[in-house]
Amino acid sequence: MAIAENNGVKGRANQEVFSSVLQQLAEEDRNIIAVTSDSRGSGKLVGFGQKLPEQIVEVGIAEQNLVGVAAGLASTGKKVFAVSPACFLTARALEQIKNDVAYSDNPVKLIGISAGVSYGALGTTHHSLHDFAVLRAINNITIVAPADAFETEAAVRQALHHNQPLYLRFGKKALPLLTENPDIGFEFGKGRVIKKGKEVAIIANGETVHPALLAALKLEQEFGISVTVVSMHTIKPLDVDLLAQLAEESNAILTVEEHMINGGLGEACASFLLQKGYKKPFKIMGIPDEYTVTGSQIEIFKHYGISEDGIAIEVKKWFQLANEDQYYVDIK
């Protein structure tokens, strides 16, 4: 099992893939509309606006208006992609998401860009570590965090025909393809098994799947620990069938996410497993209940153990191969 190297290229950022695929689709369908909140630059939609000026709406720095306008357009039959930094989209415009989109059942595609800690040193004001939690608590919205270019392109294409409110979460980091196996497809609500193992299951999403896979390969090669890696791209609805299968087949489960440990992927998995009576060692890795340290995304990931080495350490603890206090890495 090896990570697809893309012919030596490091890969593309998911939000770059999103904008490229969206423009291609919009050139073929005039009903596709992009709505932005002074975010066409960061959303990589400058070219879209130049090529298709009649299919883009700019509302300025006004995320509540962004969602309201998007909901109105969707109610008339337009296929609307509302693009804004995730930190603002899912906080400042939360009421509009709840009422104008979800409650009113307008099939807006909410696109949260520069998600998680993508903004790095800009700090907590620009981090979106709450979005899974708040949106999970709202009825009638699908939540998806693709992990690579393949998942992103598939998600955007499926979003076009998804007749329900949808939140797609993208980051800024260039990512390699996780696998070139053509049999591992993509479908909302169905997790992707990137690597099969026997002892431990690592469930991740978004930009944490890549370090999870690297950790799994390291554990197998250096310690003989067999690890399954799953891209659980859809947090809502959760793939509970796959989750139950992992609980049956694995001795322990580790979840990894670029989100607070409260209310996200890990707690969604834990809630299902506990209520179904599964009793296996279980650990949630993510950002703890604190304001994050200041640094780049890579530095923040390393500090909280969301890295190849950090994830491997957490798994090794179950095999008495690492100390319990091994976790944080100071930023120097």
Q: Residue 331: its pLDDT value, please?
A: 39
Higher-pLDDT residue of 43, 283: 283
This prediction's pTM: 0.93
The string of pLDDT tens digits covering residues 167-217 is 999 999 999 999 878 778 899 999 999 999 999 999 999 999 999 999 999
**Averaged confidence pLDDT in the chain:** 92
Concatenating the DSSP letter of every residue in 191-253 gives -EEEE--SSEEEEE-GGGHHHHHHHHHHHHHHH---EEEEE--EEES--HHHHHHHHHH-SEE
At residue 320 the predicted structure's pLDDT band, cuts being 50, 70 and 90, is confident
* Residue closest to 282 by CA, chosen among 236, 328, 228, 318: 318
Tokens linked to 257? 């996410």
Q: Residue 322: its pLDDT value, please?
A: 67
Q: Residue 87: its pLDDT value, please?
A: 96
The string of pLDDT tens digits covering residues 232-269 is 999 999 999 999 999 999 999 999 999 999 999 999 99
Over residues 113-127, mean pLDDT = 92
The full set of domains in the chain, from first to last, is 12-175 (3.40.50.970), 192-317 (3.40.50.920)
Alpha helices in the chain (DSSP H): 14-28, 46-51, 63-75, 86-89, 94-96, 131-136, 149-159, 209-223, 240-249, 265-275, 297-303, 308-317
Is residue 5 over pLDDT 50?
Answer: no
Over residues 10-19, mean pLDDT = 89
Is residue 219 over pLDDT 90?
Answer: yes
Is residue 293 over pLDDT 70?
Answer: yes
The string of pLDDT tens digits covering residues 57-115 is 999 999 999 999 999 999 999 999 999 999 999 999 999 999 999 999 999 999 999 99
